[in-house]
Amino acid sequence: MNVAFIGLGNMGSAMARNLIKAGHTLTVFNRSRNRAEELKPLGARVAATPGEAAAGAEVAITMLADDHAVEAVVFGEGNAARENILESLPPNAVHVSMSTISVAMSRRLAAAHAERKQHYVAAPVFGRPEAAAAAKLFIVAAGPAAQIERCRPLFDAMGQTTFIAGDDAPGANLIKLTGNFLITTVIESLAESFALVRKAGLDANQFLDILTNSLFNAPIYKTYGALIASEKFEPAGFKLPLGLKDNRLLLAAAEEAAVPMPMASLVRDRFLAALAQGLGESDWSSIARISAKEAGL
């Protein structure tokens, strides 16, 4: 397929490489052009603007940090003509948003693309950069069924499983935010548990081995348990401020639906405490340092 890929951070770059490897034709754009230039030897064409990348594409994929970044490349007010995705994407082409964005932004994208006779699919992903590199992401896709099927070869090149979450695109974004919330509760509970084990003089690695080979034999416990046991929070696979951003988006969705989420509020305070301690460049699992510090470790 002829694909525009916009957003080449740690996740996006790996996903774009897998699409090229699968034989798709990519035109890429990244705010820092050097990340885009790295894909040129692999056969990608480098565009100067998001609009240039999207012009003539069958599918435009965005993998960006937040609502603000998505708004800039899709709507791009104040730019020269046809520099944004909305103005440049051909009718009947698809915008696949794989970013972790708000439910409200996803609704806005769906409406804007429908108005221009374009299609919109929300397809956020679960998985860290190493999963993206190995094409082992879990993709949650929602939107028109025919367009999801049209994009399935792309999803198959980037992930190990694609879950279909219905025809209402923002539903996929809510599932993604809720999934990330559950990850943060696992991180917080592991952090508190490791603080207790260490304070009692027990071996943290043995504790991890027992947990992950009995009651909690799941990737999420193994991945984050290992990071916390080894206190390896740098380099960050997912930076702490991005975790705080996702937490805020979750709480906004919960407030709109009048659903209290006290654990989410607690995690928000943990993120803020970690930022106050200078952990903004660390992995979001570094909130474990707050539990350790409070335990006097």
- The residues carrying an active-site annotation are 176
Handedness of CA 76, 77, 82, 88 (dihedral sign): positive
Strands 45-46 and 25-29: parallel
DSSP, res 104: H
Q: Is-contact 188 254, C-beta < 8 A?
A: no
Measured between alpha carbons, how far is 207 from 205 in angstroms, rounded to an integer?
5
Amino acid code (one letter) for 129: P
Asked if residue 84 lies in contact with residue 33, where contact means CB atoms within 8 angstroms, the answer is no
- In sequence order, which ranges of the chain are alpha helices (DSSP H)? 10-21, 33-37, 50-54, 67-74, 85-88, 103-115, 129-133, 145-158, 170-199, 204-212, 219-230, 240-256, 262-276, 288-294
Please state whether 143 falls in left (phi above 0), alpha (psi between -120 and 50) or beta. left
HSE, CB side, 13 Å, CA atoms: give it for residue 239.
13
Question: In this structure, are residues 18 and 26 in contact, taking their beta carbons and an 8 Å threshold?
Answer: no
In Å, what is the CA distance from 122 to each residue of 4, 74, 254, 296? Answer: 16, 14, 19, 44
Nearest to 97 by CA among 123, 132, 128, 66: 123
C-alpha 146/C-alpha 257 separation (Å) is 29
